[in-house]
Amino acid sequence: MDKNPVNQYDVIVVGAGIAGLTCGATLAKKGYKTIVIEMNEIPGGYCTSFKRKGYTFDAAVHYNQGARDNGWLNLILRYLGVEGELEFRRLDPLYRLVYPNESMTIPADLKEYISMLSDKFPEEKEGISKLFDTIIKTQENLLRLPITFNFLNLALFPLRFPLIFKYSKMTFDEMMSQYINDPRLKSIISSGWLCIGLPPSKVSAFMMSGYIYGAHVLGCYYPKGGMQSLPNVLASALSRYGGILQLGKKVTEILVENGKAVGVQTKDGNRIYAQCIVSNIDAMHTFFDLVGKEKLSEKFVKRLEMMEPSLSFFQVWLGIDKHPKEEGINESELTYYCSYDNDQVYDKLFQGGFKEAYICAIPSFLDATLAPSGHHIINILYPASYEFQGKWKIEDGKRGDDYRSLKEKVKNKIIGTVESIMPWISEHTIITEAATPITLERYTGNCKGAAYGWAHSLDQSGINRLQPNTPIKGLYLTGNWTVPGVSTAIAAVSGRRTAELIGYRI
């Protein structure tokens, strides 16, 4: 082992996503010598921004939940002493929900939302109230969960957390069906499923409930300056407590000696050692590439090989010289579905029609400084398969002319689809940028460009998700590939929980 003290730390965090930065800053505050290593030149993972010709575009994340009051994200920022360094504006209303024959504005306030649904579906009023009451009670148990699960935790889990245990075995559609009968109402209530990655018949009730609770109770917020503002502030907290953030350095190996993680090696051949290693990157890449299958049990390797990453997205960013409010667009987000049949929508999403479902975010409604004066930004997120047309026609892992031609064709199709509700877009577009699932994988390292880590199916949610502990002693996980799940706030919670777990052990 390299005895140079410069290369020795208490903890190395691989990946400067929200979870990695939170974990690193928390450990640094506790007095541990901590370094966070990131392959890109900016921190944040999916929660980053980039600039083009005076426009600031967000890479993927388009809001943060729980950023004020006693929301989970705000509590973590407060703990790290940086909550005053960010200015957030709440998304209120949350979004306009659009179907071919109707549209409605979804309010942020839970009581107002319940009232709107009850007025629209009076015969379902009692069931609506009971469903949301169950969602709230289930989610309020979340913070009581132990940091990790041992055999005793698992044995007592059904008794200590009966609601979580019950609904961890149900899809959200099964949960809704206990209270709601109208299929159209079910579709409206579950209309945020694009932000989780699976329709209500496939997604874990616990995960979809978490999204609804976060949106309507904790609130969705946008940070002034764009999404890059959040990881920048977390990086500032890391530095404040003596932690180091090393950007533009790619970890190529997690060093394992006698079954214990002891350090990492970077692409330039440098070796850095520590008592503990935390991975905030793709779990498949962590174990199969950085650790190596030969150092893992056959049972664990088979488990990982059977797990499924979430869907990905094709994204289009537009800079326009028109105010959408002039055309009656008053919400900062729109969610479109071609049908109330969510299963049908999901099945068609990956067949190449590019007209089934999408999210349009207009962050310049929340922060006018993101675009030149009088201009606005529209970010279109369309669910897409990594495998589409032979992995987007890449050849031998390279993006050639066929890839670029397909990317341009799909971009134009998606813009054409959005023109059904915004017919003026193309005429007023000044700049366009686009990204395929291949792009997402290239910039973040996430397997198949997965947007949400593992897919949030029943067998990959709750206690079935990977835990912070791993089979390699001294190696821990944090972020969307482990518990509790997905979202910026949940990633921060994951980072804090992993840090607390490590704090008990070193």
- Which residue's structure tokens are 């174990």? 287
**What does R_g of the chain's alpha carbons equal in angstroms?**
22
Q: Please give the residue that has the higher pLDDT: either 197 or 154.
A: 197
User: Which residue type occupies 286?
Assistant: T
Count CB neighbours of 243 within 10 A: 24
75 and 69 in contact (C-beta within 8 Å)?
no
> Which of 457, 458, 459, 451 minimizes the C-alpha distance to 486?
451
Q: pLDDT per residue over 41-87, tens digit each?
A: 999 999 999 999 999 999 999 999 999 988 999 999 999 999 999 99
The C-alpha atoms of residue 19 and residue 13 are separated, in whole angstroms, by: 10
Distance CA 374, CA 428 (A): 12
Euclidean distance between CA atoms 406 and 97, whole angstroms = 29
Mean pLDDT of the chain: 93
What the block records as the tokens of 62 is 């388009």
Identify whether the C-beta of residue 172 lies closer than 8 Å to the C-beta of residue 192: no
Q: How far apart are CA 318 and CA 425, in angstroms?
A: 9
Is it the case that residue 106 has pLDDT exceeding 90? yes
| Residue closest to 492 by CA, chosen among 159, 28, 20 | 20
Q: How far apart are CA 57 and CA 62, in angstroms?
A: 10
Between 6 and 379, name the one with better pLDDT.
Answer: 379
Q: In b/e form, how buried is each residue of 181-195, taking b as 16+ CB within 10 angstroms?
A: ebeebbbbbbbbbbb
DSSP string, 234-293: HHHHHHHTT-EEE-S--EEEEEEETTEEEEEEETTS-EEEEEEEEE-S-HHIIIIIIIIG
pLDDT digits 0-9 by tens, 402-448? 999 999 999 999 999 999 999 999 999 999 999 999 999 999 999 99
Q: What tens digit of pLDDT does each residue of 268-281 get?
A: 999 999 999 999 99
CATH code of domain 5-45+70-82+225-307+458-503: 3.50.50.60
pLDDT recorded at residue 164:
73
Cis upstream peptide for 93 (omega within 30°):
yes
- Decide the pairing of beta strands 64-65 and 55-58: unpaired
Say whether pLDDT at 146 is over 60.
no
231 has pLDDT over 60: yes
Q: What is the pLDDT of residues 364-374, one digit of tens each?
A: 999 999 999 99
Number of H helices, E strands in the chain: 17, 19
Note whether 96 and 244 are within 8 A (CB): no
Distance of alpha carbon 373 from the chain centroid? 30
What share of the chain in percent tops pLDDT 90?
86
pTM for the full predicted model = 0.94
Q: Is 187 a residue whose pLDDT tops 60? A: yes
Beta-carbon contacts of 323 under 8 Å, excluding residues fewer than 6 positions away, are 374, 376
For residue 44, the model assigns a pLDDT of: 98
Confidence (pLDDT) at 5 = 60
Give yes or no for residue 455 having a pLDDT over 80.
Answer: yes
Give SS3 for 487.
Answer: coil
